[in-house]
Amino acid sequence: MLVVANWKMNGLRRESIDRAKTLAQMESTNRLKCDVLLCPPAQILSDIRYAIDNSNIFLGAQDCHFDFEGPYTGDISSSMLVDVGCTHVIIGHSERRINHSETNEIVARKAEAAHQVGLNTIICIGENMEEFKLGQTVEKLSNQLANSIPDSANLNNTMIAYEPCWAIGSGSTPTLTEIDDTHKAILEFTKNNIFKQGEKMDILYGGSVNEKNADSILDLDHVGGVLVGGASLITEKFWSICKSADRKFK
Ligand code: PEP
Protein backbone atom coordinates (compact mmCIF):
# COMPACT_ATOMS: atom_id res chain seq x y z
CA MET A 1 0.00 0.00 0.00
CA LEU A 2 1.61 3.23 -1.21
CA VAL A 3 0.61 6.88 -0.84
CA VAL A 4 2.33 9.19 -3.32
CA ALA A 5 2.54 12.97 -3.08
CA ASN A 6 2.99 14.55 -6.51
CA TRP A 7 3.87 18.15 -5.75
CA LYS A 8 4.15 18.97 -9.46
CA MET A 9 5.56 22.49 -10.11
CA ASN A 10 4.44 23.92 -6.79
CA GLY A 11 6.20 25.46 -3.83
CA LEU A 12 9.45 27.27 -3.27
CA ARG A 13 12.31 25.58 -1.47
CA ARG A 14 11.68 26.75 2.12
CA GLU A 15 7.98 25.87 2.31
CA SER A 16 8.58 22.48 0.64
CA ILE A 17 11.37 21.61 3.06
CA ASP A 18 9.16 22.61 6.00
CA ARG A 19 6.30 20.46 4.70
CA ALA A 20 8.61 17.49 4.20
CA LYS A 21 10.14 17.92 7.66
CA THR A 22 6.71 18.04 9.29
CA LEU A 23 5.63 14.88 7.47
CA ALA A 24 8.89 13.14 8.37
CA GLN A 25 8.41 14.07 12.00
CA MET A 26 4.83 12.74 11.97
CA GLU A 27 5.89 9.55 10.23
CA SER A 28 8.77 8.85 12.58
CA THR A 29 6.51 9.37 15.60
CA ASN A 30 3.75 7.15 14.22
CA ARG A 31 5.77 4.65 12.13
CA LEU A 32 3.22 4.05 9.38
CA LYS A 33 2.84 0.58 7.93
CA CYS A 34 1.90 1.92 4.51
CA ASP A 35 4.64 3.34 2.30
CA VAL A 36 4.78 7.08 1.68
CA LEU A 37 6.56 8.67 -1.27
CA LEU A 38 7.23 12.37 -1.84
CA CYS A 39 7.81 13.55 -5.41
CA PRO A 40 8.92 17.19 -5.20
CA PRO A 41 10.07 19.38 -8.10
CA ALA A 42 13.49 18.27 -9.34
CA GLN A 43 15.54 21.23 -8.14
CA ILE A 44 14.80 20.47 -4.47
CA LEU A 45 15.17 16.68 -4.53
CA SER A 46 18.40 16.92 -2.57
CA ASP A 47 16.89 19.22 0.06
CA ILE A 48 13.90 16.94 0.52
CA ARG A 49 16.14 13.91 0.79
CA TYR A 50 17.76 15.46 3.88
CA ALA A 51 14.43 16.69 5.25
CA ILE A 52 13.03 13.13 5.36
CA ASP A 53 16.27 11.48 6.44
CA ASN A 54 15.09 10.16 9.80
CA SER A 55 11.79 8.78 8.57
CA ASN A 56 10.65 5.87 6.40
CA ILE A 57 9.40 8.23 3.72
CA PHE A 58 10.73 7.54 0.21
CA LEU A 59 11.95 10.11 -2.31
CA GLY A 60 10.80 10.12 -5.93
CA ALA A 61 10.93 12.27 -9.03
CA GLN A 62 8.15 13.31 -11.38
CA ASP A 63 9.89 12.30 -14.62
CA CYS A 64 13.19 11.20 -16.14
CA HIS A 65 14.78 11.05 -19.58
CA PHE A 66 15.25 7.81 -21.52
CA ASP A 67 18.97 8.44 -22.06
CA PHE A 68 21.61 8.53 -19.33
CA GLU A 69 23.44 11.63 -20.58
CA GLY A 70 23.68 13.85 -23.60
CA PRO A 71 22.45 17.02 -25.27
CA TYR A 72 19.01 17.22 -23.65
CA THR A 73 18.66 20.74 -22.26
CA GLY A 74 16.45 20.86 -19.19
CA ASP A 75 16.13 17.08 -18.80
CA ILE A 76 17.21 14.79 -15.98
CA SER A 77 18.42 11.22 -16.34
CA SER A 78 17.41 8.26 -14.23
CA SER A 79 21.00 7.85 -13.01
CA MET A 80 20.99 11.48 -11.82
CA LEU A 81 17.86 10.73 -9.81
CA VAL A 82 19.55 7.79 -8.12
CA ASP A 83 22.55 10.01 -7.48
CA VAL A 84 20.43 12.42 -5.38
CA GLY A 85 18.77 9.61 -3.43
CA CYS A 86 15.57 8.83 -5.35
CA THR A 87 14.14 5.34 -5.12
CA HIS A 88 11.09 5.97 -7.32
CA VAL A 89 10.06 7.93 -10.39
CA ILE A 90 6.66 8.75 -11.85
CA ILE A 91 6.61 8.11 -15.60
CA GLY A 92 3.96 9.01 -18.19
CA HIS A 93 1.82 11.31 -16.07
CA SER A 94 -0.98 12.66 -18.27
CA GLU A 95 0.42 16.18 -17.87
CA ARG A 96 3.65 14.94 -19.48
CA ARG A 97 1.81 12.92 -22.12
CA ILE A 98 -0.38 15.92 -23.03
CA ASN A 99 1.90 18.94 -22.46
CA HIS A 100 5.13 17.32 -23.66
CA SER A 101 3.69 15.01 -26.33
CA GLU A 102 5.00 11.89 -24.61
CA THR A 103 3.89 8.82 -26.50
CA ASN A 104 3.50 5.34 -25.04
CA GLU A 105 6.81 4.43 -26.70
CA ILE A 106 8.64 7.31 -25.00
CA VAL A 107 7.07 6.32 -21.68
CA ALA A 108 8.28 2.74 -22.14
CA ARG A 109 11.83 3.93 -22.94
CA LYS A 110 11.87 6.19 -19.88
CA ALA A 111 10.63 3.37 -17.66
CA GLU A 112 13.29 1.05 -19.02
CA ALA A 113 16.02 3.65 -18.31
CA ALA A 114 14.68 3.93 -14.76
CA HIS A 115 14.68 0.15 -14.28
CA GLN A 116 18.25 -0.08 -15.54
CA VAL A 117 19.47 2.02 -12.62
CA GLY A 118 17.26 0.28 -10.06
CA LEU A 119 14.48 2.85 -9.73
CA ASN A 120 10.91 1.80 -9.00
CA THR A 121 8.55 3.17 -11.62
CA ILE A 122 5.01 4.38 -11.22
CA ILE A 123 3.67 4.29 -14.75
CA CYS A 124 0.56 6.42 -15.25
CA ILE A 125 -2.30 5.58 -17.56
CA GLY A 126 -5.75 7.11 -17.95
CA GLU A 127 -8.54 7.94 -20.36
CA ASN A 128 -9.89 11.38 -21.24
CA MET A 129 -13.47 12.49 -20.66
CA GLU A 130 -14.64 11.67 -24.18
CA GLU A 131 -13.24 8.15 -23.99
CA PHE A 132 -14.83 7.73 -20.56
CA LYS A 133 -18.25 8.85 -21.85
CA LEU A 134 -17.98 6.56 -24.87
CA GLY A 135 -17.22 3.57 -22.61
CA GLN A 136 -13.73 3.23 -24.11
CA THR A 137 -11.82 3.31 -20.81
CA VAL A 138 -10.61 -0.29 -20.74
CA GLU A 139 -9.72 -0.21 -24.44
CA LYS A 140 -7.64 2.95 -23.96
CA LEU A 141 -5.92 1.63 -20.84
CA SER A 142 -5.15 -1.72 -22.47
CA ASN A 143 -3.47 0.08 -25.34
CA GLN A 144 -1.45 2.23 -22.94
CA LEU A 145 -0.46 -0.81 -20.88
CA ALA A 146 0.56 -2.83 -23.93
CA ASN A 147 2.79 -0.03 -25.22
CA SER A 148 4.03 1.89 -22.15
CA ILE A 149 5.37 -0.97 -20.07
CA PRO A 150 8.85 -2.14 -21.08
CA ASP A 151 10.08 -5.74 -20.95
CA SER A 152 12.21 -4.76 -17.95
CA ALA A 153 9.07 -4.29 -15.82
CA ASN A 154 8.32 -6.77 -13.08
CA LEU A 155 6.42 -7.01 -9.81
CA ASN A 156 9.34 -5.54 -7.85
CA ASN A 157 10.04 -2.47 -9.95
CA THR A 158 6.69 -1.39 -11.39
CA MET A 159 3.39 -0.01 -10.18
CA ILE A 160 0.60 1.30 -12.35
CA ALA A 161 -1.30 4.46 -11.47
CA TYR A 162 -4.78 4.68 -12.97
CA GLU A 163 -5.49 8.39 -13.33
CA PRO A 164 -8.50 9.39 -15.43
CA CYS A 165 -7.34 12.67 -17.06
CA TRP A 166 -10.73 14.24 -16.37
CA ALA A 167 -10.48 13.49 -12.64
CA ILE A 168 -7.09 15.16 -12.15
CA GLY A 169 -7.48 18.43 -10.28
CA SER A 170 -11.19 18.59 -11.13
CA GLY A 171 -12.84 17.53 -7.89
CA SER A 172 -14.68 14.76 -9.82
CA THR A 173 -13.87 11.09 -9.57
CA PRO A 174 -15.29 7.94 -11.12
CA THR A 175 -17.70 6.09 -8.80
CA LEU A 176 -16.17 3.60 -6.39
CA THR A 177 -17.55 0.74 -8.49
CA GLU A 178 -16.01 2.23 -11.63
CA ILE A 179 -12.62 2.60 -9.93
CA ASP A 180 -12.65 -0.95 -8.62
CA ASP A 181 -13.86 -2.45 -11.92
CA THR A 182 -11.22 -0.54 -13.88
CA HIS A 183 -8.45 -1.64 -11.52
CA LYS A 184 -9.65 -5.22 -11.88
CA ALA A 185 -9.49 -4.90 -15.67
CA ILE A 186 -5.96 -3.45 -15.45
CA LEU A 187 -4.81 -6.37 -13.28
CA GLU A 188 -6.42 -8.88 -15.64
CA PHE A 189 -4.83 -7.30 -18.72
CA THR A 190 -1.43 -7.10 -17.05
CA LYS A 191 -1.55 -10.75 -16.00
CA ASN A 192 -2.63 -11.98 -19.43
CA ASN A 193 -0.49 -9.75 -21.61
CA ILE A 194 2.45 -8.29 -19.75
CA PHE A 195 3.76 -10.61 -17.09
CA LYS A 196 2.34 -13.58 -15.27
CA GLN A 197 2.42 -12.17 -11.77
CA GLY A 198 0.75 -8.99 -12.97
CA GLU A 199 -2.38 -9.67 -10.95
CA LYS A 200 -0.35 -9.12 -7.77
CA MET A 201 0.80 -5.66 -8.84
CA ASP A 202 -0.24 -2.63 -6.80
CA ILE A 203 -2.53 -0.39 -8.82
CA LEU A 204 -2.72 3.14 -7.47
CA TYR A 205 -5.72 5.36 -8.06
CA GLY A 206 -5.12 9.07 -8.76
CA GLY A 207 -7.48 11.93 -9.54
CA SER A 208 -9.01 14.27 -6.93
CA VAL A 209 -8.15 12.05 -3.98
CA ASN A 210 -8.61 14.01 -0.76
CA GLU A 211 -8.90 13.47 2.97
CA LYS A 212 -12.67 12.86 2.62
CA ASN A 213 -12.76 10.24 -0.13
CA ALA A 214 -9.45 8.45 0.61
CA ASP A 215 -10.94 5.96 3.07
CA SER A 216 -13.56 4.64 0.70
CA ILE A 217 -11.20 4.53 -2.29
CA LEU A 218 -8.49 2.74 -0.30
CA ASP A 219 -11.10 0.26 0.94
CA LEU A 220 -11.67 -1.05 -2.58
CA ASP A 221 -10.41 -4.60 -3.16
CA HIS A 222 -8.29 -3.75 -6.20
CA VAL A 223 -6.79 -0.46 -5.05
CA GLY A 224 -3.20 -0.73 -3.79
CA GLY A 225 -2.61 2.92 -2.96
CA VAL A 226 -3.23 6.46 -4.14
CA LEU A 227 -1.40 9.15 -6.08
CA VAL A 228 -2.28 12.56 -4.71
CA GLY A 229 -1.74 15.94 -6.37
CA GLY A 230 -3.52 18.99 -4.90
CA ALA A 231 -4.24 17.52 -1.46
CA SER A 232 -0.59 16.52 -1.04
CA LEU A 233 0.39 20.19 -0.79
CA ILE A 234 -1.50 20.60 2.46
CA THR A 235 0.23 18.70 5.24
CA GLU A 236 -2.89 17.94 7.32
CA LYS A 237 -4.83 16.67 4.30
CA PHE A 238 -1.97 14.52 3.05
CA TRP A 239 -1.29 13.13 6.49
CA SER A 240 -4.97 12.24 6.87
CA ILE A 241 -4.77 10.30 3.56
CA CYS A 242 -1.65 8.50 4.83
CA LYS A 243 -3.53 7.54 8.00
CA SER A 244 -6.40 6.18 5.88
CA ALA A 245 -3.91 3.96 4.04
CA ASP A 246 -2.27 2.91 7.29
CA ARG A 247 -5.61 1.82 8.79
CA LYS A 248 -5.86 -0.87 6.08
CA PHE A 249 -3.12 -2.77 7.93
CA LYS A 250 -4.90 -2.82 11.27
C1 PEP B 1 -2.16 13.99 -10.22
O2 PEP B 1 -1.88 14.95 -10.90
O3 PEP B 1 -1.48 12.97 -10.31
C4 PEP B 1 -3.30 14.08 -9.34
C5 PEP B 1 -3.80 12.97 -8.91
O6 PEP B 1 -3.77 15.35 -9.05
P7 PEP B 1 -5.01 15.70 -8.10
O8 PEP B 1 -4.92 14.85 -6.87
O9 PEP B 1 -4.86 17.14 -7.80
O10 PEP B 1 -6.26 15.39 -8.87
Does the annotation count 93 as an active-site position? yes
CB 51 within 8 A of CB 41: no
Pocket lining for ligand 1, CB < 6 angstroms = 6, 163, 168-169, 206-209, 227-231
Given 3-state DSSP classes, what are the helix, strand and coil percentages for the chain, each rounded to the nearest 5?
45, 15, 35
The whole model's pTM is what? 0.97
Does the annotation count 163 as an active-site position? yes
**Domain residue limits at 23:** 2-249
- Each of the 250 residues of the chain gets a pLDDT tens digit; together they read 999 999 999 999 999 999 999 999 999 999 999 999 999 999 999 999 999 999 999 999 999 999 999 999 999 999 999 999 999 999 999 999 999 999 999 999 999 999 999 999 999 999 999 999 999 999 999 999 999 999 999 999 999 999 999 999 999 999 999 999 999 999 999 999 998 888 899 999 999 999 999 999 999 999 999 999 999 999 999 999 999 999 988 6
Helix axes 235-247, 13-30, angle to 10 degrees: 30
Atom of ligand 1 nearest to the CA of 168: 10
Distance 6 CA to ligand 1 centre (A): 7
Q: 88, 93, 115, 222: which is the annotated catalytic residue?
A: 93
What's the total number of domains in the chain? 1
Closest residue by Cα to atom 3, ligand 1, is: 229
Distance 228 CA to ligand 1 centre (A): 5
Kind and range of the H or E element at 88?
strand 88-91
Question: How far is the CA of 48 from the CAs of 10, 65, 209, in angstroms?
Answer: 14, 21, 23
CB 24 within 8 A of CB 224: no
CATH code, domain carrying 236? 3.20.20.70
Distance 61 CA to ligand 1 centre (A): 15
